[in-house]
Amino acid sequence: MAGLEYEGVDGRETKGDDADADHDASVFAHKQSRILDACRRRDIGDLQVLAISRGGFLSDAIRRQAWPALLGFDVGDAEEQKEKSDSWMHLERHRDEDQVKLDVERSFVYYPNDDTQAQLELKKSELSDLITEVLRRHPYLCYFQGYHDICQVLLLVLPPATRAKAVARLSVLRIRDFMLPNLAPAVAQLRLIPDILNAVDPALCAHLSRIEPYFALSDTLTMFAHNVQRYSDIARLFDALLAREQVFSLYVFAQIVLRRRAELFEHDEADMLHFTLSKLPQNLDLDAVVTDAAHLFNRHPPETLRSWRSISSASALKTARNARACAAQTLERGRAYFEKQRDELRWAETRDKALKAVWANRTVILAVVIGVGAVYFRKAPLWANLVSWSIPSRYF
């Protein structure tokens, strides 16, 4: 990432350029003060502006205050509840726990890269417990592969007392569409990406129209945590994604595509286009991407996109359309949205099965309809008179 980089799980910042250290330190201190003040006031609007600005929330020490505020809970309350809460270990086992174990074993691939094997094993154990606790406390949620990538970022940034609360609120209120019984709502979200591209660059959109937008599934599903390889980058990106509306991640992806315009026009084959777009460049200037994505959002808000009307009213894209309102929502409200969308999915599946059955038996159904119609015509006096008047008697 260009300019200053603030790295480290312990929240300490390291400078990428010492040429003007005093000025940089002053800028850092001023912004840090503004972020912490916004956290104390729980001012989501100010936090949004600061999250988009250069460097995001700057360090993990500040993120530990900012992220809970954005997710709608108080750090002190979470710590107190954690101490008083009953152990989740005695709750009924979640149906997806075997898959959780498999995925956790593949976690922490890129970062932290200075831990010993013993330290990594401890983090994996903590990650497994974190995911399992959230799933057992909210058993209606369905685990999806890549969820562990999101959770490991929150685990590295947040202290133990606030992790489960943060993951639960993120899961139920922000990424709920991905935790439904199937991924149809997640795929529906991808349809917004071509709409965004078409609004800005119709030629590029037309060039990519030969492939479905499934290339964006991995990044949008995991909040980019699966493919971003540097810890400082993913933490900075999470600043923006947690501060903004849930739909903002689609604008970030669209902006990355726009920045790769020349590269994409070098490929004409559908397979190569899909392969290229499914691999996230590692040299991205994330500050620029986030800033440009915010401008893109302002110029072409989701309500102006053709596919927006196809998104369920219970989708997190719409219920979390306002980040301030989303932070105030309860988990009970999130569950109600989940159940409404789940019922919509079940109805859609029933409808699709019925339509497929009708199509598969269309010949038989048509024959029955014709047969019933023939009998009706012969028995109905009015129709019988009309038919006998218009058709010679030899046909009866």
Q: What's the average model confidence in pLDDT over 33-50?
A: 96
350 or 165: whose pLDDT is higher?
A: 165
The whole-number pLDDT of residue 26 equals: 84
* DSSP-derived 3-state class of residue 238: helix
The whole-number pLDDT of residue 283 equals: 87
Residue 347 has pLDDT above 90, yes or no: no
Tens of pLDDT, residue by residue over 300-323, are 999 999 999 999 999 999 999 999
Residue 23 has pLDDT above 80, yes or no: no
Tens of pLDDT, residue by residue over 156-212, are 999 999 999 999 999 999 999 999 999 999 999 999 999 999 999 999 999 999 999
pLDDT band at 331 (very low <50, low <70, confident <90, very high): very high
The whole-number pLDDT of residue 383 equals: 47
Contact 186, 221 (CB under 8 A): yes
Give the end-to-end CA distance of the chain in Å, rounded to a whole number. Answer: 85
Rounded CA separation 21/355 (Å): 68
The whole-number pLDDT of residue 141 equals: 98
Rounded CA separation 341/101 (Å): 28
The whole-number pLDDT of residue 391 equals: 46
- Structure token pair of residue 341: 């969308």
Name the packing angle between helices 75-84 and 160-173 (round to 10°).
Answer: 100
Q: Indicate the Cα dihedral angle 64, 70, 71, 73, nearest 10°.
A: 70
Residue 216 has pLDDT above 70, yes or no: yes
DSSP 80-133: HHHHHSPPGGGSPPPTTHHHHHHHHTT--SSS--S--HHHHHHHHHHHHHHHHH
Handedness of CA 104, 106, 111, 115 (dihedral sign): positive
- Average pLDDT score over the chain: 87
What is the percent of the chain with per-residue pLDDT over 90, rounded to a whole number?
Answer: 75
Residue 86 has pLDDT above 90, yes or no: no
Tens of pLDDT, residue by residue over 245-280, are 999 999 999 999 999 999 999 999 999 999 999 999
Of 80-94, 319-333, 342-356, 358-372, which has the strongest mean pLDDT? 319-333
**Nearest CA among 8, 38, 33, 6 for reference residue 157:** 8
Tens of pLDDT, residue by residue over 139-153, are 999 999 999 999 999
Tens of pLDDT, residue by residue over 99-122, are 999 999 999 999 998 999 999 999
pTM, full prediction? 0.83
**Nearest CA among 22, 50, 23, 45 for reference residue 34:** 50
Residue 369 has pLDDT above 70, yes or no: no
